[in-house]
Chains A and B, each alone.
Chain A
Amino acid sequence: MELTPEQVLALAPDTGVATSGKKLAITGWHGLGRDAVALWGEYQGSAHYQVRAALGDLTVKCSCPSRKFPCKHGIGLLLLVATDPDALPTAEAPEWVSDWIQRRASTAEQRETKERAKSTAATDGTTPVKRASKSADRRLARVQGGLDALDLWLDDLLRGGLAQVATQPATFWERQAARLVDAQAPGLAGRLRRMAALSHASRDWPALLLVELGRVALLTHSFRRIDELDPALREDLRGAIGWTLTQDEVLARGEVVGDRWLVLGQRATVEDRLRTQRTWLLGATSGRYAMILQFAHGDQPFEAQYIPGTGIGGDLVFWPSAWPLRAAVRERHGEPTQFPAAIVGLPSLAALLEAFATAIGHQPWLPRLPAIISAVTIIHGDGGHWLARDEQGATLPLLGDEHWHTLALSGGAPVDLIAEWDGATLLPLGLLVGGSYHRLGEGR
């Protein structure tokens, strides 16, 4: 295992677990061992716990009753091996470890057989396809009904003028959003909910609101002519409305790309207790970017672990799109490895803007693009604004006002910046300083 302690700590579900894990990594272990696929150890605390970890995807299983995942014992064990690889001698796995590894392998096999059966059925044109097309027709009718109603509502709103929005309560947006959820267009519903926060939030709110409403009108108008669009762009349009392909559908017909994928960074957001995590990957050979989306409710853990600053081998399947980014991991090979010492990034911020212009030229609803930009200086400018400055001296603004850690790591010298660009601001996700990766922001 090639993880640094910093990367192990990033796996902890919260800082409490990270802190306890750090303490546990020091003493109290016995029966430690490892083989080609797993690590294990027994921890004697107030009770006795059996802790095991699979090397492939760093899944941890512990006999303790904690509902945190991984628990502090799991973090402790991984920290122990990250700090001192010799602490775990190569040994034969005890039964409580080998049984677990076998159970995991057989579940993975079952899942694969099921997927294969599904994709055969899909290509054969047998059973589920007819039923699927019937339910798709029903959904199309509902979505179209919802969009018609939305157009009427937009028409009313603009006829009366946006000034009237000033006196509307938040329920004004919420009611229309709920109607769109009923019409199975949750993507549009989310856009309307975010508009509620826009009105009067800043001095130029009318312009911001008009732009957002304009983008929604572009969606409803395009959806009416969806059959005239390029097939890949049709998928993006459906996706923006909220009619996304399921992971199973994508596994059956998406484009497969095998590579060594560098985990560039992670970002998590919360909306109504639903946590969404974006993980950005870059193919070391293909040079392709990919985004893995994971969802979890409340305190539930995300299903898979991706550690920024490491590389994973495997096959990704991309969602069909005019600018494919979203992907699912179909198969993972081998253990996580460290980043290469250097990654070739974009030479300037202007190059980033050009890449974004090209991308939205293909996919106008693309929300953001990841990028690595070489030799960027982080600047805390006059008035407290944060800027990224490239080698030519040109700048773009950073999102938010807490970049002190980024400044500390860079020391005001040029570094390679990994960030998301959303058309307005840069959100730093990681830094490469003197060949080593540093993660920025929260990914939990």
Chain B
Amino acid sequence: MDRLVDAALAGTASIGNRQIAGNTPTAALVAQLSDLSPALRLLLAAGTQALYTQAGRAVGPPVAAPAPAPPDRLPVCSTGAARLLDQLLDQDSAGILPEALGRLARVGQRLPPPLLVAALTAGKRRADLRPALLPVLDARGHWLASRNPDWAWATSAVATIGGELPPDAEAIWQEGNAP
């Protein structure tokens, strides 16, 4: 294709009568066409070669899959609760989202995966939500947060505890570390 691109950039007027052909079998097909200007011949060579290349496209070389999210520990909340939380994450005009999240944590349930992006984004915007969000994100939420620098708030909160888990780690996990 490079040869065709160079010729196209310079213009067929400047390269005289030199034949510009592609380097795929389609070049032979274009060569069979008579009574065409060098310019149109160049375009047809590029068009057929592009199609040829597209048909022969190969998949990328094998890569290893990163570790998936560890299994969540908590049961997921009910669909009714999920819908209410979805609405509150979308618009919390009454300011009751922290309480709703707190109640979710108290009954030991987690947010369903479809709400995780909204929850992590809300936590980035509103620091007041973070203590209530941390316990209900569960393993999948923390795994997701660790992949996006925008959501560092959810991972650094865990890191501040230190290298070792504190004795009340289970309680913090279940209830959040709010006083």
Contact = CB atoms under 8 A, between A and B. Distances in A.
B117 to A, nearest CB: 5
B63 A162 contact: no
A6 to B, nearest CB: 8
Nearest to A18: B90
Contacts of A22: 83, 86-87
Nearest to A404: B117
A207 B44 contact: no
A224 to B, nearest CB: 11
B59 A350 contact: yes
A439 to B, nearest CB: 10
Contact of A413 (B64, B69, B79): B69
Interface residues of B, number: 57
Which of A155, A357, A438 counts the most chain B CB atoms within 10 A? A155
Contacts, number: 174
Nearest to B116: A408
B63 A389 contact: yes
B75 interface: no
A217 B47 contact: yes
A377 interface: yes
Contacts of B60: 387, 394-397
B140 A210 contact: no
Contact of A151 (B10, B40, B50, B144): B40
A379 interface: yes
Contacts of B68: 377, 411-413
Contact of A211 (B46, B56, B87): B46
Given A161-B11, A396-B59, A408-B116, A207 B87 contact: no
A198 to B, nearest CB: 13
A340 interface: no
Contacts of B114: 6, 405, 408-409, 438
Contacts of B1: 207, 210
A411 B59 contact: no
Interface of A: 5-6, 15, 19, 22-23, 83, 151, 154-164, 206-207, 210-211, 213-218, 221, 348-350, 353, 356-357, 360-361, 364, 377, 379-381, 387, 389-390, 392-397, 404-405, 407-409, 411-413, 423, 433, 438
8 contacts: A22-B83, A22-B87, A155-B40, A158-B40, A218-B48, A356-B55, A389-B65, A396-B59
